[in-house]
Amino acid sequence: MTSGTLSKEEQEKLFSLALTARETSYSPYSKFRVGAALMATDGTLFKGCNVENASYGAAICAERTAFVKAVSEGYLKFHALAVSTDQDDFISPCGICRQFISEFVSKDMPVFFLNKHGEHREYKFEQLLPFAFDYDTSKEYLQK
Ligand code: THU
């Protein structure tokens, strides 16, 4: 399974999980629910939501939650990411998330944005973070 291709079935599973992931969003301060679904290269799926805090800066975004869950379970190679919200419009990962994600994904990994109507937009990761900062150390470690 290579990055850049997703079967219709895989895409449906990924989208469905990203929409479900919003349901456990802990967002009492912003009331802005975000869900993320992440597919590892072997097809394993992880979901994440945003988790806020009374100390606002301590919040974590849905995308990083999904990556932290996956990496802490020993997954380091990823096939696709989907991000959902309750908004009419699409949202895309914040700058911190883009940098965080860039550690683990290939430039051509597909990233999907989903709105509340279930519509989606598709990008390649490199479109979100061109000229990403990277050390050779991570390339060797992850064999990017
Ligand atoms: N948020 C995410 O979870 N992902 C994004 O891509 C953008 C923002 C969260 C952070 C905060 O809990 C809320 O959305 C409002 O910024």
CATH of the domain at 43: 3.40.140.10
Using 50, 70 and 90 to split pLDDT, how confident is the model at 15? very high
CA distance 67 to 81: 10
Sequence-distant (6+) residues with CB within 8 A of 21 are 35, 36, 37, 47, 48, 49, 62, 66, 84
- Separation of CA 100 and ligand 1 centre (Å): 14
CA distance 43 to 22: 21
- Assess if residue 83 is contained within a domain: yes
Q: What is the pLDDT of residues 48-83, one digit of tens each?
A: 999 999 999 999 999 999 999 999 999 999 999 999
Q: Which residue among 9, 63, 73, 140 is the active-site one?
A: 63
Q: Given this model, what pLDDT does residue 141 score? A: 77
63 is catalytic: yes
Instruction: Indicate the residue type of 97.
Output: C
Domain range for 77 is 8-142
- Assess if residue 1 is contained within a domain: no
Q: Once rounded to an integer, what is the mean pLDDT over residues 101-111?
A: 96
- Assess if residue 51 is contained within a domain: yes
Q: What is the domain count for the chain?
A: 1
**CB atoms near residue 47 (< 10 Å):** 23
- Assess if residue 112 is contained within a domain: yes
- Specify the ligand 1 atom closest to the Cα of 91: 6
- Assess if residue 129 is contained within a domain: yes
Kindly report the protein residue whose alpha carbon is nearest to atom 2 of ligand 1.
61
- Separation of CA 99 and ligand 1 centre (Å): 15
- Assess if residue 23 is contained within a domain: yes
- Assess if residue 29 is contained within a domain: yes
